[in-house]
Amino acid sequence: MIRRADRGSALIEMVLITPLLLTLLLGLMEAGKIGDYAIRVANAARAGVQYGAQNEATAGDTQGMQNAAVADAQYAGITAVAIPTFCSCADGSASTCQQGDCAASHRLQWVEVTATGTYTGLNSVFIPPQLRTITISQTAIMRVAQ
């Protein structure tokens, strides 16, 4: 038998806990959105280097790499910067990308693309202003097929 003093205690507990649970749920949803955005930025960088790594002609096409990255992102706020090709020797020594500068081994050519996007989250009084926008930057490097 329920005592008279215990009536309504479950309702009061629910009223106290519900805002906390809703805040937790919103936080988890926001963390998921940030994770998805970071994956899209990383995929954009990867798409740019995949375009550039096809052969030596596409490795020099920095605008093509940037266009491939932005097209893959499918978000207006994501930008990409492609760095012109750089080289190294297979034995680990430095290379100037000139024919014959790797006497002991063969020359390796690389392309690099950095994609950057700014995620704007919930505009809530519970979130500090410095956490409402997050800049995410991802860099991908790939060897050019030779």
- State the Cα–Cα distance between residues 126 and 130, nearest whole angstrom: 12
Cα 108 off chain centre by: 26
What stretch of H or E contains 63? helix 62-73
Question: What average pLDDT does the chain have?
Answer: 86
User: pLDDT exceeding 90 applies to what percent of the chain?
Assistant: 38
104/33: higher pLDDT:
33
Q: pTM for the whole thing?
A: 0.80
- State the Cα–Cα distance between residues 128 and 131, nearest whole angstrom: 6
Q: What confidence tier does 146 reach under pLDDT thresholds 50, 70, 90?
A: confident
Residue 3 CA: distances (Å) to CA of 6, 7, 8, 88: 6, 7, 11, 81
**Residue 62: CB partners within 8 Å, gap ≥ 6?**
52, 82, 83, 84
77: which 2 tokens?
Answer: 């706020």
pLDDT at residue 84, rounded to an integer: 81
Q: What confidence tier does 67 reach under pLDDT thresholds 50, 70, 90?
A: very high
Q: How many CA atoms lie within 13 A of 93 on its CB side?
A: 9
Q: Tell me the sheet residues that pair with 117.
A: 136
16/1: higher pLDDT:
16
pLDDT at residue 123, rounded to an integer: 66
Kindly report the backbone phi and psi dihedral angles of residue 125, in degrees, each rounded to the nearest multiple of 5, phi listed first. -70, -15
Q: What is the mean pLDDT of residues 6-15?
A: 82
Q: How many domains does the chain have?
A: 1
What single-letter amino acid sits at 37?
A: Y
Name which of 30-34, 98-102, 115-119, 129-133 the model is least confident about.
Answer: 129-133
Domain encompassing residue 91:
4-143
Name which of 58-67, 72-81, 126-135 the model is least confident about.
Answer: 126-135
